[in-house]
C-alpha cells in the first residue's frame, strides 16, 4: 500500500505517477479538474474545522470529532475503501488539502492513520 500526503502549494513537486486525491471541501481553483479526484466526503465538516481554527476546541477534540464523523459517514467509508482498493493495485495515492501542517495537525494525517489501520485489518 502506498498512500502519501501533501498539500496543494507543492502539487507540482509530486511525481506525475501519483494519483492525487483532494480531501478538502473546496477544490483548488488553480488545479485542472482532470488532474485530481475530489473526495470531498473525506473533508472535515465546516463547523468543526472553524471551531478548531478559531481556537474553540483543541486538536485532540478536533481529531476525536473528525474520526467519529468519518466512522459514521457511509459515503466516506466507501471512499476510503476505494482508496485502499486502488493502492492495493500498486497505485500511489496522495491525499492533498490546503494545510502545510508541519506539525501534522491536519485531517489528512488522521486519514492516513485510518487507512493504515483498515489495511492492517484487511478491510
Q: What are 90-122's pLDDT values in tens digits?
A: 889 999 999 898 889 999 999 999 998 888 777
Predicted local distance difference test score (pLDDT) of residue 101:
84
Residues with pLDDT less than 50, the chain: none
Instruction: Return the pLDDT at 2.
Output: 86
List the domain range (segments joined by +) for residue 106. Answer: 2-121
CA angle 112, 114, 119 (to 5 degrees): 95
3-state secondary structure of 52: helix
Model pLDDT, residue 87: 84
Helix, strand or coil, per DSSP, at residue 6: strand
The number of distinct structural domains making up the chain is 1
pTM: 0.90
CA dihedral 91→28→73→2, nearest 10 degrees, is: 20
Count of C-beta atoms within a 10 Å radius of residue 47: 9
Alpha carbon 94 to its chain centroid, in Å, reads 9
**Residue 100 to residue 40: CA distance in whole angstroms:** 18
| Burial category of 102 from C-beta neighbours within 10 Å (exposed 0-12, middle 13-18, buried 19 and up) | exposed
Q: Which residues contact 24 (CB under 8 A, 6 or more apart)?
A: 8, 40, 43, 96, 97, 98
Amino acid at each position: 500500500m502506498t498512500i502519501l500526503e501533501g498539500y496543494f502549494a507543492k502539487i507540482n513537486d509530486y511525481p506525475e505517477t501519483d494519483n492525487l486525491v483532494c480531501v478538502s471541501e473546496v477544490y483548488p481553483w488553480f488545479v485542472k479538474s482532470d488532474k485530481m479526484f475530489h473526495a470531498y466526503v473525506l473533508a472535515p465538516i465546516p463547523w468543526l474545522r472553524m471551531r478548531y481554527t478559531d481556537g474553540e476546541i483543541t486538536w485532540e477534540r478536533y481529531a476525536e470529532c473528525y474520526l467519529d464523523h468519518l466512522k459514521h459517514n457511509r459515503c466516506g467509508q466507501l471512499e476510503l475503501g476505494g482508496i485502499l482498493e486502488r493502492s492495493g493495485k500498486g497505485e500511489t495515492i496522495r491525499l492533498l488539502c490546503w494545510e502545510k501542517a508541519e506539525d501534522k495537525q491536519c485531517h489528512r494525517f488522521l486519514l492516513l492513520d485510518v487507512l493504515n489501520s483498515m489495511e492492517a485489518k484487511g478491510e
